[in-house]
A and B are shown apart, each in its own frame.
Chain A
Amino acid sequence: MEANLFEEEQAAPAAPSAVAEAGVPAAEAGKPPLRTRIHNSAFARNFRKNWTYLLFLIPAVAVTFIFAYVPMYGLLIAFQDYMPGDPILTGSWIGFENFKLFLGDYAFWDLMLNTFLLCILGFIIGFPLPIIVAVMLHTTKNKKLSKFLQTVFNGPHFISLVVLVGMLTLFFGRYGLVNNIIESMGGERYSFFLEAKAFRPMYILSSNWQDFGWSSIIYLAALSGVEQAQHEAAKIDGASRVQRILHVDIPAIMPIISVMLIMSIGGLMGVGYEKVLLMQTDGNIGVSEIIATYVYKQGLTPGGRGAGYATAVGFFNSIINLILLIIANTVSKRFSENSLF
């Protein structure tokens, strides 16, 4: 929706200027105001032609504005010694104190590293998986089976995080299913929740298990748009199934893949705190303390440094995300001509 808005707005000024340039020689010399008049009327014409579409945009623009832009004034408290109840615009300003405190904090590098590793590992496994699944489902000859599998794969997405972590403790707890199996096969019981090594695999794999089916939907949609004629042509040329996937399907959905890639890189450091917090124990806190859980503890629990500091940390995290997004977008633009903006 937002991408559309961008294109719409960029297209609008581009088109009239082309018209204007074509119009100038026809109108001959000595009438400079004409250029703007044509420009305006072209814009107006364009607007009149498309006003119904623009009308559809209003709710999206309004919602984005009210819920994403208006609350941004809350970021001001990152620069204040803020207590709930203080006026936001005239609070006690302390400049970049909160940021300095965070950058100099003992936990800073651990937090950055933990957040980055958890996200990048999750990304490396979690990004290609839905693509592979989508291609597999798409090429399955038995359409009924394909639909059935798709439903099965989507199921876990609807489990709430709390329930999911409850399931993990039931299965991977010291007296859970997995340990019972290990013991019956002669192994030693293993404390999955206390061993720091076990945290990342458990977190990442359970997240991916939960979401691979759901994330594959967008690729399935893209794949269904691939023209049959191309497949038929490839078949006539004697391409095998694998070759058809590699040379027809994948190139066809490449634009979607790169958009998704840019967006997930942009959200790379933006992992939520809920699941990590639920899985956190004294045993794994060395690897499971990430920026999001740190923000939660500092901002909302007693003994934390308060809302201002937590906002500053969160803001810092968002800036990193934005930088990553811009880098990913620039790289993608340079090499593949696909980009968000």
Chain B
Amino acid sequence: MKKLFMALALGCAALVTLAGCGGGDNRTGNSVSELQEKYGYQWTDTSKPILNDEGAQAITFNIYSSKNASALDYNDMDVMKTIKKQTNVNVTWENVSETVYGQQKSIKLGNHKGIDAIYHAGMAPSEIIKYAKRKALLPISDYLEYMPNFKRILEERPDIKSQVTNASDGKIYSLPRVEEMGLKQNPNLLFLNAKWTKEAIENDPTIGITEAQVVDGLELTAAQMEKLLTYFKDHDMNGDGNTKDEFPLNFVYQNWQGNQCDLYGMFGINDNPDHRVIKDGKVTYTVLDERYREATAFIHDWIDRGLIDRVCLEVAQDTYLATGMGSEKYGAFYWWESATVVKNPEDYICCKPLKGADGSQTVCVSNAPEVDAGELIFFTGTPNVEVLLTYFDRYYNPELSAQINYGPIGTAFKEEKENGKLVAKEPPEGLTVDNVRLTNAPLGVCYLTKNEWDTVVEMEPRAQLRLDRLQKYAIPFVPENVKPIPNLQFTSEELNKLSTYEANINSYISRNLMSFLMNGVSEAQWNSFTTELQSTRVGLAQVVEVYQAAYDRYLGK
């Protein structure tokens, strides 16, 4: 029996070890001069093919990539075919769904046989550092001469350079996606139901605004808003015979947009869901602001009186939107835009930020960077990798960037340019702009900044509308000395510190804030909360120190 067991055990062990072997790459690598000689490799002129026809035959690459559910296979996408024609580089895409990628990511990173690069990689700085240390990732910065576009970007934009540069060894391991529309920094706008407001001011003149004022750009004080919301709450505003189904003020708690943070603006605090901003060049936790307790107590009061229904703290985005799209229930709400939340956006006006009792009036400053640093990574050991790098460098050509981000000319854009710019084409009958985009655009690596919006591609109308609103109702209210935290790069020691403390801090803060918003907060409770937060056990100081060091490095200090 014992021998049988031993035999079984050995057999199983052998099976396990054997599973790791097998396979191999039979492509031949060439030096750059060989590539130039044999296959006409050139990288300097970004409008000419990278390889000649022989090169197109001989050299191939495999890219692993997730794609959204409605996108075509990348091998069949017109944009990809165009790029292939323009460059003569033969790239085969291996597409998986986003869910599968989520599950497979670490396996593929660990065993990247048959894959040369991962597109839509979504690499966190910590992952890049760890895999770079294990020599799995190709240091792109060693090959910059073959990437004229990327090299130019890094020279023009030192901030992007510091967002992608590994803090431990100063090398670059990933290509970023840059889409700077200026929409993400202030994620909330306050929309107010104009119909309801007019009815309220007619019946309650103490609110103190006139009907003529109820247009876009209305400025309300906290006291006025409070009266207005109270009126919404107590009356049957939507006329369905039930005075209890109106939700006066709405948001999705701790969402990346449409969240509660703008309410803290009434107390001069630029909060965001991380509770972390740059103030006067210093990394600052907003919850330590001396007025944060006051603000929390104030919001709790609104919650307690039903001006903000507790359901806002409870539900996620889908339920929020579904409720809004049902019968008319929202008196006022925070969101990115009004058309996705309510059926009748024409009845809602966009307000300026609420003005606090002492005149404070500011908005959320969100840490949502417009640069995705880890969008594309390359594996070491890829033969002829210079060609592949030049190929992906072409993605930063402005016109290609636009097509990658929105879809090909002829489908997403009109064939003829207007004023030298690509202009969006009307979607075919029965489809929306989003449908066309999600089906035909791979998204991912691109470079679209203010310069490109001005000269190469027209911004889509919805984005334009939002940008206009932000220019009027949000950006002017952000103080000069407050900045969002960009993508930061950390060293391994810093990452260790963060992983020791950060999750605990986040959960400690969110747990306590929720309880304060639900049940109110006394001075003593607040003091014990902040004292504990700054104690060495929780370790806020350590985390601030790490962020500060990384931020200083980002600034090039």
**Segment of A20-28, A248-256, A280-288, A324-332 in the binding face:** A280-288
Cα distance, A101 to B496, chains bound together (Å): 11
* B110, B309, B507, B515: the one within 8 Å of A85 (CB): B110
Please choose the segment from A128-136, A191-199, A217-225 that sits at the chain B interface, where 4 or more of its residues have CB less than 8 A away: A191-199
Q: List 22 A-B contacts (CB under 8 A).
A: A62-B8, A83-B134, A85-B131, A85-B134, A85-B136, A105-B504, A106-B537, A106-B538, A173-B311, A173-B315, A174-B310, A174-B311, A174-B314, A175-B311, A183-B244, A194-B518, A196-B515, A282-B253, A286-B511, A302-B126, A303-B124, A303-B502
Interface status of A107 (Cβ within 8 A of chain B): yes
A65 contacts B12, C-beta separation under 8 Å? yes
Per a CB cutoff under 8 Å, which of B109, B253, B311, B537 touches A84? Answer: B109
Is B439 an interface residue when CB atoms closer than 8 A count as contact?
A: no
B518 touches A191 (CB 8 A): yes
B514 adjacent to chain A (CB < 8 Å) = yes
Chain A residues whose CB sits within 8 angstroms of the CB of B13 once the complex forms = 70
| Known contacts A175-B311, A305-B499, A282 near B106 by CB under 8 Å | no
> B91 near A: Cβ within 8 Å?
no
A103 CB within 8 Å of chain B: no
Query: Of all chain A residues, which has the CB nearest B503?
Result: A303
Per DSSP, are chain B's interface residues mostly helix, strand or loop, or mixed?
Answer: helix
CB-contact partner of B254 in A70, A195, A282, under 8 A: A282
With A282-B254, A285-B510 known to touch, is A65 a contact of B8 (CB < 8 Å)? yes
Contact B510 A107, beta carbon cutoff 8 Å: no
Q: Which of A278-315 contact B (CB under 8 A)?
A: 281-283, 285-286, 289, 297-298, 302-306
Q: Which residues of A contact B518 (CB under 8 A)?
A: 191, 194-195, 283
The distance in angstroms between the C-alpha atoms of A73 and B130, with both chains bound, is 23
B107: CB under 8 A from chain A?
A: yes
Given known pairs A65-B12, A174-B311, A305-B499, the reply for A84 and B504 (CB within 8 Å) is: no
- A274, CB-defined interface residue at 8 Å: no
Q: Is the CB of B499 within 8 A of A86?
A: no
Say whether, besides A66-B12, A85-B111, A194 and B537 are in contact (CB < 8 Å): no
Q: Residue-by-residue, is B1-41 near A (CB-CB < 8 Å gives 1, otherwise 0)?
A: 00000001100110010000000000000000000000000
Give Cα A267–Cα B305 distance, bound, in whole angstroms.
45
Give A143-174 as 1s and 0s: 1 = Cβ < 8 Å from B's Cβ atoms: 00000000000000000000000000000011
**Contact between A84 and B310 (Cβ–Cβ < 8 Å)?**
no
Q: Which residue of A lies closest to B502 (CB)?
A: A303
* Given known A70-B12, A106-B504, contact A83–B309 (CB-CB < 8 A): no
Which residues of A2-57 are within 8 A (CB) of B? none
Query: How many Å lie between the Cα of A283 and that of B310 in the bound state?
Result: 11
Q: What is the total number of residues of chain A having a CB less than 8 Å from a CB of chain B?
A: 36
Closest A residue to B8 by beta carbon equals: A65
Asked if B313 lies at the interface with its beta carbon under 8 angstroms from chain A, I say: yes
* Complex-state Cα separation, A73 to B537, whole angstroms: 34
B514 proximity list for chain A (CB < 8 A) = 194, 281-283
Q: Given the known A-B contacts A65-B8, A107-B504, A286-B511, are A85 and B314 also in contact in the complex, defined by CB atoms under 8 Å?
A: no
> Cα distance A297–B503 when bound, in Å?
9
Distance in Å: Cβ of A51 to nearest Cβ of chain B: 12
Is B527 in contact with chain A by the CB < 8 A criterion? no
* CB-contacts of B284-327 with A (<8 A): 309-311, 313-315
Query: Contacts A86-B110, A195-B518, A283-B518 known; A173 to B124 CB distance under 8 Å?
Result: no
Report the separation of the CA atoms of residues A189 and B244 in the bound assembly, to the nearest whole angstrom.
Answer: 11
Please name the residue on chain A nearest to B504 by beta carbon. Answer: A106
Chain A 57-114 interface residues, beta-carbon cutoff 8 Å to B: 62, 65-66, 70, 73, 83-86, 101, 105-107
Extra inter-chain contacts (20) besides given A62-B8, A281-B514, CB under 8 Å? A85-B106, A85-B131, A85-B134, A85-B136, A86-B110, A86-B134, A105-B504, A106-B504, A106-B508, A175-B311, A191-B518, A196-B515, A281-B314, A282-B313, A283-B313, A286-B515, A297-B503, A298-B503, A302-B126, A303-B502
Q: Which residue of B lies closest to A106 (CB)?
A: B504
- Which residues of chain A have C-beta atoms less than 8 A from B539's C-beta? 106
Q: Among residues 169 to 208 in chain A, which have CB atoms less than 8 Å away from a CB atom of chain B?
A: 173-175, 183, 189, 191, 193-196
The answer to whether B500 has its CB under 8 Å from any CB of chain A is: yes
Residue interface mask B490-506, A partner, CB < 8 A = 1: 00000000011011100
> Which of A73, A106, A281, A306 has the largest number of chain B CB atoms within 10 A?
A106
Beta-carbon contact of B16 and A70 below 8 Å: yes
Q: What's the Cα separation between A183 and B306 when bound, in Å?
A: 14
A287 to B47, CA, bound (A): 61
Distance of A94 from chain B, by nearest CB (Å): 11
Question: Are A283 and B311 in contact (CB-based, < 8 A)?
Answer: no
Q: When A and B form their complex, which 5 residue pairs have the shortest distance between CB atoms, in order from nearest?
A: A85-B110, A84-B106, A282-B514, A174-B311, A84-B110
Answer whether A194 and B504 are a contact pair too, CB < 8 Å, given A83-B131, A86-B134. no
Which residues of chain A are near B12, meaning CB under 8 Å?
65-66, 70
Within A239-266, the residues touching B (CB, 8 Å) are none
Contact of B511 (CB < 8 Å), options: A174, A282, A297:
A282
Please indicate the chain B residues that have their CB under 8 angstroms from the CB of A193 in the complex: 314
Contacts of A303 in B (CB 8 A): 124, 499, 502-503
Shortest CB–CB separation between residue B463 and chain A, in angstroms?
28
Q: Interface centre among A84, A86, A304, by most B CB within 10 Å?
A: A84
- Chain A neighbourhood of B8, CB < 8 A: 62, 65
Please give the distance in Å from A218's CB to the nearest CB on chain B: 30
**Given known A191-B310, A194-B313, contact A304–B16 (CB-CB < 8 A):** no
In the complex, residue of chain A having the shortest beta-carbon distance to the beta carbon of B309: A174
Cα A106 to Cα B124 with chains together (Å): 25
**Cα distance, A101 to B497, chains bound together (Å):** 12
How far is the CB of B20 from the nearest CB of chain A, in Å?
A: 8
The residue on A at minimum CB distance from B509 is A282
In the complex, how many angstroms separate the beta carbon of A190 from the nearest chain B beta carbon?
9
Neighbouring B residues of A84 by C-beta, 8 Å:
106-107, 109-110
Assembled-state Cα–Cα distance A307/B389 (Å):
32
Instruction: Give the residues in chain A near B9, CB-CB below 8 Å.
Output: 65
Kindly provide the distance from the CB of A21 to the nearest chain B CB, expressed in whole angstroms: 23
Residue numbers in A under 8 Å from B537 (CB-CB) = 106
Interface residues of B in 121-161 (CB under 8 A from A): 124, 126, 130-131, 134, 136
Most A-side CB within 10 Å, residue of B244, B311, B315, B503:
B503
Give the chain A neighbours of B310 by CB distance below 8 A: 174, 189, 191, 194
A295 to chain B, nearest CB (A): 13
The CA-CA distance from A169 to B435 in the complex, in Å, is 32
Q: Which residues of A contact B508 (CB under 8 A)?
A: 106
B306, closest chain A residue (CB): A189
Bound-complex Cα distance A217 to B424 (A): 65
- Inter-chain CA distance A253–B195, complex, in Å, is 71
Chain B residues whose CB sits within 8 angstroms of the CB of A62 once the complex forms: 8
Q: Is A85 in contact with B503, judged by CB distance below 8 angstroms?
A: no
Residues of A within 8 A of B309 (CB): 174
- Determine the distance from Cα of A3 to Cα of B126 in the docked complex, in whole angstroms: 47
A84-B106, A85-B111, A191-B314 in contact; A283/B504 too (CB < 8 A)? Answer: no
- Measured between beta carbons, the chain A residues less than 8 angstroms from B136 are 85
Alpha-carbon separation in the docked complex, A256 to B386 (Å): 70
Shortest distance from the beta carbon of B131 to any chain A beta carbon, whole Å: 7
- Residue among B124, B310, B510, B539 with most chain A CB within 10 A: B310
- Closest-by-CB residue of A relative to B312 is A174
Give A303 to B134 CA distance when docked, in angstroms: 19
Q: Which residue of B lies closest to A47 (CB)?
A: B1
Cβ of A73: which chain B residues have Cβ within 8 Å of it? Answer: 16
B256 to chain A, nearest CB (A): 15
State A62–B8 Cα separation when bound (angstroms): 8
Question: Given the complex of chains A and B, what is the CA–CA distance between A169 and B502 in angstroms?
Answer: 30
